[in-house]
Amino acid sequence: MPEEKLYRVALREALGEEMERDDTVYLIGEDIGKFGGAYRVTDGLLDKFGAERVVDAPIAEEVIVGTAIGSAMLGLRPVVEMMTINFSLVAYDQIVNNAAKIRYMFGGEANVPLVIRMPGGAGHQLSAQHSHSLEVLYGLIPGLLVVAPTTPEDAKGMLKSAIRTNNPVMFLESMSLYNVRGMVPDGDYTTPLGQAAVRRKGADLTIVGVSRMAVLANEAAKQLEEEDIDVEVIDLRSIRPIDWPPIVESVNRTTRCMVVEEGWATYGVTAEIAAGVQERCFDYLDAPIRRLGGAQVPMPYSLPLEKASIPTSEDIKRMARKVVGRKTDA
Amino acid sequence: MTAGPFALSKNKDVQERHSVLQADGTIATGAQPRMEEEFLLEALRWMMKSRLYDTRVISLQRQGQFGVFSPGMGQEASIVGSAMALDPTRDWIVPQYRELMATVHHGLPLEIITAQYLGKIGPARIPDGVRVLPTQVSIAAQLPQATGLAWGLRLRGEDAVVMAYIGEGGSSEGDFHEALNLAGVTKSPIVFFLQNNQWAISTSRRVQSATASFAFRAAGYGFPGVQVDGNDVMAVYDVAVAAVERARKGEGPTLIESVTYRMSFHNTTDNPSRYEDPKEHEEARTRDPIERVQKYLTGLGLWDKKREAALTEELTQENEAALQLAFAAPAPVPADVFANVYDHPPQRVVQQEAELLDGRRD
Ligand SMILES: Cc1ncc(C[n+]2csc(CCOP(=O)(O)OP(=O)(O)O)c2C)c(N)n1
Ligand SMILES: [Mg+2]
């Protein structure tokens, strides 16, 4: 029987089941052993699989990723946990210059079946060096697959796919989604990487949401129903590659499009989506494509300022009304 | 003064742990402490202030009135003894995050650093003339900057030394090694003060490094490394003064490994019972840095329960006054979101800010 589970539990199950299924899969990261990871995703896995497969590493992101790459070239399947995507910047050279390029530079002779799991997002007063989303920094790199699941079902299914693919995958979780509950299918299933999901059908406007913003867009859409605005919500899920067909089909039907991300919209994931929609749907569009992102500042530590810096469902509704030509703040 | 049991430049055996005031409150045989009694009382005052502040702030945090906080409990000798070796009128402190009272000792008013934890902005600004860099989150990133600061001070001809703090966990980052290496090459006037409190969140010191002593690492960068009992304020002060003097004389950096124990937790969201052996914790408790000073001073007739109660009361009032000031300081206003992103923000940025402030319009 499918069961309601927490997002973090769904991830934990994916890790455990894949480790069970394939003994080349191992985990490495900071505080993932007894501590169970900063967000408790790996809780209990040390007891089950031992310290050789659940490896607590020194605080050294670059060597964590670098050693994972080395072992991956040998055929192991490391799953790295970064405490946050922000700290992955310490390992950026290994990821961008190495993990993403090795297959190409080696003429296809070596694969890097590496997964890097990391949460992003603000809202917990973790301040400027610990709160950003930064999806775009990986989205722009050929050679990487970049995904951001938003439901427990996807979290589990996509993590399994990520572990099984031979390409390096940036698996972007969200701090604010770990406690979200949702139905998770029974048994061994995978969810393909590289596909967007239509979360809600609608006729007036297409909202494409990135990571947690897809969840907020859904909430906003429910509320907009009362105002007679019928919103279609697409959860991007895959940041690289972008799954254009469902987006294009939707926008051509609704003729209006808006894109939302938690990160900075300038040069952001939303910029890429907006540009692509414009190229593909220009003749159908009845309004300019609008983008919504976080305030373009380093994330403030102050709670009220932090709140003011992250898009809310109110912000989404306000912009949606504009795109469909309704009076705002009615 | 470089004589005594401990002459840094001659100390080859870094595994030797410098000790003066032992856990039982007696002076180690042969030790020649620099700290005189008056000064030791001053150190005790700061250590007690630190612990009282931590205790108070932890309870405020539990009541939802304070930000996430990493206490210095158990590490007071390390925090205070190192800061006391500096001259606040010319030297600099580059903290990690667990050395709050070192920065206060160095002239950063307690109400200001408290205001920072409360999310205040203007009232949390480090006053001009206080030679302390703000704490930051990205572990070890402060060290290359500290080396640059030290090097820059020398280029400017200032007679100043930088005391840069790092945890044993942070010393695994590449930044640590690169910063020490360049400081050695440039002979920069800097002291790397590594607090080995045995833990980095839940990760044991043994996971960070296979070395027997973090102080050994200095050898690889061409300068001395010393190990000190980090719960012994007299010993910490000794090694810190010697290292600061060395740096000031132009002889280059020193790495100090201050061996201590994190008696509370990583921060107020952490629960060490998940990973810490209670026996290890209990054993560490017997090495308390404050109690041993009190014992020693009691033996000299300079301390008793009455004095302890009086000082506790005085420090509690002092801390409370700072907390009140910090709580009363003005909270940020929405426009502060955009303050300080740029010096002289480009016109286009100013315009975008204005648009954003009256409704998101990106
Ligand atoms: C680059 C980076 N990686 C990981 C973290 C998460 N983190 C915060 S504190 C900490 C432990 C630091 O331990 P240590 O340096 O020993 O200092 P202590 O907390 O013991 O004072 C870790 C891993 C971080 N802040 N920055
Ligand atoms: Mg530590």
Complete DSSP assignment for A187-217: SS----TT--EEEE--SSEEEEE-THHHHHH
B198: left (phi over 0), alpha (psi -120 to 50) or beta: left
pLDDT tens sequence across B34-90:
889 999 999 999 999 999 999 999 999 999 999 999 999 999 999 999 999 999 999
pLDDT score recorded for residue B8: 46
CA of A58, nearest ligand number: 1
**pLDDT in the model for residue B349:** 87
Report which secondary-structure segment, H or E, holds A155. Answer: helix A152-164
Mutate which of A131, A301, A303, A328 to disrupt the B interface (most B C-beta within 10 Å)? A301
Residue A209 phi, psi (nearest 5): -115, 145
> For B23-28, what is the mean pLDDT?
96
Domain count, chain A: 2
**Which amino acid, residue A294?**
G
Boundary (domain end) residue, out of A152, A184, A216? A184
Ligand nearest to the CA of B140: 1
Distance (Å, whole) CA B94 – CA B79: 12
Nearest to A154 by CA among A137, A171, A136, A133: A171
Rounded Cα–Cα distance for residues B49 and A38 (Å):
31
d(CA A21, ligand 2 centre) in Å? 36
Put simply, whether A59 touches B (Cβ < 8 Å) is yes
CA distances from B240 to A274, B77, B130, B190 (A): 58, 12, 20, 11
Q: Which of A64-68, A120-124, A162-166, B20-24 has the lowest mean pLDDT?
A: A120-124
Reported as a single tens digit per residue, the pLDDT across B281-315 is: 999 999 999 999 999 999 999 999 999 999 999 99
Q: What chain A residue is nearest to B275 in terms of C-alpha separation? A: A34
B2 pLDDT band (50/70/90 cuts)?
very low
The answer to whether the Cβ–Cβ distance between A58 and B203 falls below 8 Å is: yes
Contact A56 B173 (CB under 8 A): no
Give the phi and the psi of residue A255 in degrees, each rounded to 5. 70, 5
A314 and A256 together in one domain = yes
Go through chain B and tell me how many residues it has: 362
Question: Residue A191 domain-assigned?
Answer: no
- Using one digit for the tens of pLDDT, what is the confidence trace for B94-104? 999 999 999 99
Q: How far apart are CA B176 and CA B192, in angstroms?
A: 10
Q: Chain A window 4-33: which residues touch B at a Cβ cutoff of 8 Å?
A: 30-31, 33
Cα A230 to Cα A326: distance, rounded to the nearest angstrom: 13
* Residue (of B335, B222, B258) closest to B85 by Cα position: B258
If DSSP codes are grouped into helix, strand and coil, which group holds residue B55? helix
* Together in a domain, A8 and A157: yes
Chain B residues at the A interface, defined by Cβ less than 8 Å, are: 67-68, 119-121, 136-140, 169-170, 172-175, 200-203, 207-209, 274-275, 331-332, 334, 336-338, 341, 352, 356, 359-360, 362
Domain CATH number, residue A319:
3.40.50.920
Cβ–Cβ < 8 Å for A178, A6: yes
Structure tokens at B207: 């996971």
Residues A66, A21, single domain; the answer is: yes
| Contact by Cβ (8 Å): B82, B163 | yes
Burial class (CB in 10 A: 0-12, 13-18, 19+), B29: exposed
**Alpha-carbon span B106 to A123, nearest angstrom:** 33
In order of start, what are the domains of chain B with their CATH numbers?
8-331 (3.40.50.970), 333-362 (no CATH)
Does residue A59 sit within a domain? yes
Looking at the fold, whether A203 and A180 belong to one and the same domain comes out as: no
**Contact at CB, A305 and B332, closer than 8 angstroms:** yes
Domain-embedded: residue A297: yes
Average pLDDT in chain A: 97
- Which of B136, B175, B203 is closest, CB to CB, to A129? B136
pLDDT at B352: 82
Cα–Cα dist A3/B183, whole Å = 57
Distance (angstroms) between ligand 1 centre and the Cα of A259 equals: 35
- Out of A33, A130, A265, the one facing B362 most closely (by C-beta) is A265
Cα of A53 vs centre of ligand 1, distance in Å, is 23
Residue A328 is assigned to a structural domain of this protein: no
A153: domain CATH number is 3.40.50.970
Q: Domain range holding A302?
A: 197-323
Distance from the alpha carbon of residue A87 to the mean position of ligand 1, in angstroms: 11
Q: Would you list the DSSP string of B175-237?
A: HHHHHHHHHHHHT-SEEEEEEE-SEETTEEHHHH-S-S-GGGGGGGGTS-EEEEETT-HHHHH
Q: Which residues share a beta bridge with B193? A: B165, B256
Spell out the residues 6+ positions from residue B279 whose beta carbon is closer than 8 angstroms to its own.
Answer: none
Asked whether residue A262 is domain-assigned, the answer is yes
Whether the per-residue pLDDT at B151 is higher than 60: the answer is yes
DSSP three-state, residue A11: helix
Contact at CB, A56 and B200, closer than 8 angstroms? no
Report d(CA B230, CA B258) in Å as an integer.
4
Bridging pattern class, strands B203-204 and B199-200: antiparallel
A119 in Cβ contact with A106 (< 8 Å): no
**Residue B243 in this model has a pLDDT that exceeds 70:** yes
Same domain, A44 and A118: yes
CB A161 within 8 A of CB A190: yes
Element (H, E) at A146: strand A145-147
Quote the pLDDT of residue B348: 87
Domain-located, residue A33: yes
Same domain, A174 and A37: yes
Picking from A163, A184, A205, the residue at the C-terminal end of a domain is A184
> Nearest-CA distance from B339 to chain A in Å?
9
- Residues A204, A153, single domain; the answer is no
What span, in angstroms and rounded, lies between the C-alpha atoms of A144 and A101?
9
Distance CA A277, CA A309 (A): 26
Query: Are A178 and A316 part of one and the same domain?
Result: no
Task: Examine the pLDDT at B7 and tell me if it is beyond 80.
Answer: no
Q: Are residues A179 and A33 in the same domain?
A: yes
More confident residue, A124 or B288: B288
* CA A320 to chain CA mean position, Å: 23
Distance from CA of B213 to the nearest CA of A (A): 16
Euclidean distance between CA atoms B19 and B5, whole angstroms: 9
pLDDT of B1 > 60? The answer is no
Query: Same domain for A254 and A130?
Result: no
**Which residue of A lies nearest to B206 if distances are taken between CA atoms?**
A58
**Nearest by Cα to A290 from A253, A251, A327, A329:** A251
Catalytic (active site) residue B262: yes
Among residues A264, A289, A267, A269, which one has the least CA distance to residue A279?
Answer: A289
Range with the poorest average pLDDT among A123-127, A134-138, A145-149, A205-209: A123-127
Q: Average pLDDT of chain B? A: 94
- Residue B362 is predicted with a pLDDT of 46
Across the range B124-141, mean pLDDT stands at 96
From A184, A214, A231, the end of a domain falls on A184
Ligand number with the minimum distance to the CA of B165: 1
With 0-12 CB in 10 A as exposed, 13-18 as middle and 19+ as buried, what is B229?
A: buried
CA contacts within 13 A on the Cβ side of B116: 17
| Nearest Cα residue to atom 7 of ligand 1 | B139
Atom of ligand 1 nearest to the CA of B205: 16
- Residue carrying the six token digits 């001073």: B297
- Per-residue pLDDT tens for A34-91? 999 999 999 999 999 999 999 999 999 999 999 999 999 999 999 999 999 999 999 9
pLDDT score for B198: 98
Diameter over CA atoms, chain B: 72
**Whether B18 contacts B229, CB under 8 Å:** yes
Residue A115 near residue A146 (C-beta atoms within 8 A): no
A125–B contact, CB cutoff 8 A: yes
Same domain, A213 and A251: yes
Q: Is the pLDDT of residue A328 over 70?
A: no
Would you give the DSSP letter of residue A299? P
A65 assigned to some structural domain? yes
CB-side exposure of B151: number of CA atoms within 13 Å?
15
Query: Is position A275 within any domain?
Result: yes
List the structure tokens of B58.
């932890």
A242 with A100, same domain? no
* Residue B317, pLDDT above cutoff 50: yes
- CA dist B185 and A226 (Å) reads 68
Is the Cβ–Cβ distance between B296 and B26 less than 8 Å? yes
pLDDT at A109 over 70: yes
Give the burial class of B55: count Cβ atoms within 10 A of its Cβ; 0-12 exposed, 13-18 middle, 19 or more buried.
Answer: middle
